[in-house]
């Protein structure tokens, strides 16, 4: 009788890439639904467009490379990339810009470097930055949350705007859109207004923009789910949010009238989404325990620096891309001590 042979270990664990990515998608659901609730159908339409473009692009590249596209598509990594990109986009972005960003993320940032596991940069954030620097007008044209505007765009109106690129009859972009809280804080601060004054506006809630401030909680919920399922570990989210809180707290303590308080930083923009879902992208992040702490802390620091003194209102994408570049170096200098290795005995 002849038996099958294999290499040890003969039994392997239940984990696989599809499961990991599926878990990430599941964790994104509450935050995504919250965004839909506050910003309307545009969020879901963007999501559909981005995912479709990403999947088509990935399949096309795989066939050009003469490889089987099925296992690559089934690992769901392209869907995760597109989903994260879509969440970062303004809800009424013209469809072709979403397609462009999504395809750039998959084709250039991911596949040209060798596909999953080989991309040095976070594809979703690179796609977002491409769109932000290429189309600054449409990319900063955010909607006010429904709770603020008191009106919601219908599905038909959303589709019309996204696919025609023009506002519906009788409306202009000025009546439709509004600045994000980060944007507003920034421009009003530059006009030398006090924070206490800025916060008098009906747009402001308890610690961030009304509506906006609650979305972070739903992403936080998803992030905690990922922590619980051990898809991500605590180091990057904790160090990133921790350093953001610490630095913003320090400046706030020095001058609370020109520096927003720490919770504002935490619950505005993409801080929480970034901490749990974007900075933790394993492929482009640091992998050593100490390295992850440094990596996260530096992202938090850069977010504060760019938000406060940089040219763009939000900074998660830029900070993550900057630290992506530093990750291999961080890893090199933070290798853990091997069992039995004496201190200061490093080869």
Partner 1 sequence: MAEPRNIWTFRGGLHLDDHKAVSTGRTIEPASIPERLVLPLQQHIGQAAEVLVKPGDPVGKGQLIARASDYVSASIHAPTSGKIVAVEQRPVAHPSGLSDHCIIMDSDGEDTWGELPPAWPDYTERSAAELRERIRWAGVVGLGGAVFPTAVKVNTSGQRAIDTLIINGAECEPYISCDDALMRAHPEDILDGIAILRHIIGAHECLIGIEDNKPEAIEALRHAIETRGERDIEVVVVPTLYPSGGEKQLIKLLTGREVPTNSLPASVGVLCQNVATAVTVANAVLHGRPLIERIVTVTGQGIRQPGNYRALIGTSADRLVAKAGGYSEHIHQLIFGGPMMGFSLRSDQVPITKATNCLLAASQAEAPNNDPERPCIRCGECARVCPVQLLPQQMLWHTRAHDFDKVQDFHLFECIECGCCAYVCPSHIPLVQYYRFAKTAIWTQEREREKSDLARRRHEARQTRLERIEAERKARLRKKKEALEKKPAAQDDDPKKAAIEAAMQRVAAKKAAQQNPEPAGKD
| Backbone torsion region of residue 224, taken as left when φ is above 0, otherwise alpha when ψ lies between -120 and 50, otherwise beta | alpha
Nearer to partner 1, 3 or 228 (CB): 3
- Please confirm whether the linkage preceding 9 is cis (ω < 30° from 0): yes
Contact 58, 106 (CB under 8 A): yes
For helices 42-64 and 17-39, the axis angle rounded to 10 degrees is: 150
Q: Give least dist CB 182 to partner 1, A.
A: 31
CB under 8 Å to 152, separation ≥6 — which residues?
40, 146
Contact 32, 273 (CB under 8 A): no
Q: Give least dist CB 99 to partner 1, A.
A: 26
Contact 125, 323 (CB under 8 A): no
Spatial separation of the C-alpha atoms in residues 344 and 236, rounded to whole Å: 26
Q: Give least dist CB 232 to partner 1, A.
A: 9
Spatial separation of the C-alpha atoms in residues 22 and 76, rounded to whole Å: 7
Q: Give least dist CB 21 to partner 1, A.
A: 9
CA atoms within 13 A on the CB side of 106: 30
The secondary structure of 144-168 as a DSSP string is: PPHHHHS----HHHHHHHHHH-SPP
Contact 92, 149 (CB under 8 A): no
Picking from 109, 127, 129, the residue whose alpha carbon sits closest to that of residue 119 is 109
Nearer to partner 1, 14 or 170 (CB): 14
Nearer to partner 1, 98 or 119 (CB): 119
CA dist list (Å): 130 to 44, 90, 101, 112, 141: 21, 14, 7, 16, 16
Q: Give least dist CB 284 to partner 1, A.
A: 8
Q: Give least dist CB 142 to partner 1, A.
A: 32
Nearer to partner 1, 17 or 263 (CB): 17
Q: Give least dist CB 148 to partner 1, A.
A: 40
Nearer to partner 1, 124 or 315 (CB): 124
**What's the chain's Rg over C-alpha atoms?**
22
CA atoms within 13 A on the CB side of 240: 30
Nearer to partner 1, 62 or 195 (CB): 62
Q: Give least dist CB 20 to partner 1, A.
A: 5
Nearer to partner 1, 174 or 343 (CB): 343
Q: Give least dist CB 112 to partner 1, A.
A: 15
Point out which residues bind partner 1 (CB under 8 A): 1-13, 15-17, 19-20, 71, 75, 77, 114-118, 233, 282-283, 285, 287-288, 331, 335-342, 347
Nearer to partner 1, 52 or 233 (CB): 233
Nearer to partner 1, 43 or 278 (CB): 278
Contact 185, 264 (CB under 8 A): yes
């Amino acid at each position: 009788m002849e038996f099958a042979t294999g290499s040890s270990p003969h039994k392997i664990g239940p984990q696989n890439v599809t499961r990991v990515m599926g878990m990430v998608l599941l964790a994104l659901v509450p935050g995504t639904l919250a965004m839909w609730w506050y910003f309307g159908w545009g969020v879901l339409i963007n999501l559909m467009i981005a995912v479709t473009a990403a999947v088509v692009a990935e399949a096309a590249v795989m066939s050009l490379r003469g490889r089987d596209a099925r296992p690559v598509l089934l690992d769901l990594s392209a869907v995760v990339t597109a989903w994260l990109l879509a969440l970062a986009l303004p809800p009424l972005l013209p469809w072709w810009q979403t397609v462009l960003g999504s395809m750039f993320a998959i084709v250039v940032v991911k596949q040209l470097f060798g596909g999953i596991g080989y991309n040095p940069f976070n594809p979703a954030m690179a796609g977002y930055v491409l769109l932000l620097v290429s189309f600054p007008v449409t990319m900063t044209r955010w909607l006010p949350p429904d709770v603020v505007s008191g009106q919601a765009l219908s599905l038909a109106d959303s589709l019309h705007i996204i696919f025609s690129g023009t506002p519906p009859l009788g409306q202009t972009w000025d009546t439709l859109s509004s600045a994000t809280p980060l944007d507003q804080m920034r421009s009003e601060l530059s006009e030398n207004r006090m924070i206490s004054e800025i916060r008098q506006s009906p747009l402001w809630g308890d610690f961030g923009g009304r509506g906006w401030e609650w979305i972070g909680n739903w992403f936080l919920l998803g992030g905690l789910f990922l922590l619980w399922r051990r898809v991500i570990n605590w180091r990057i989210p904790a160090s990133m949010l921790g350093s953001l809180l610490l630095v913003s707290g320090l400046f706030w303590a020095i001058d609370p009238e020109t520096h927003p308080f720490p919770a504002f930083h935490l619950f505005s923009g993409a801080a929480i989404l970034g901490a749990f879902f974007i900075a933790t992208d394993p492929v482009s992040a640091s992998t050593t325990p100490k390295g992850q702490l440094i990596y996260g802390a530096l992202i938090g620091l850069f977010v504060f620096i760019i938000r406060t003194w940089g040219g763009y209102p939000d900074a998660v994408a830029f900070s993550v891309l900057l630290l992506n570049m530093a990750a291999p170096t961080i890893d090199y200098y933070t290798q853990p001590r091997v069992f039995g290795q004496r201190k200061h005995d490093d080869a």
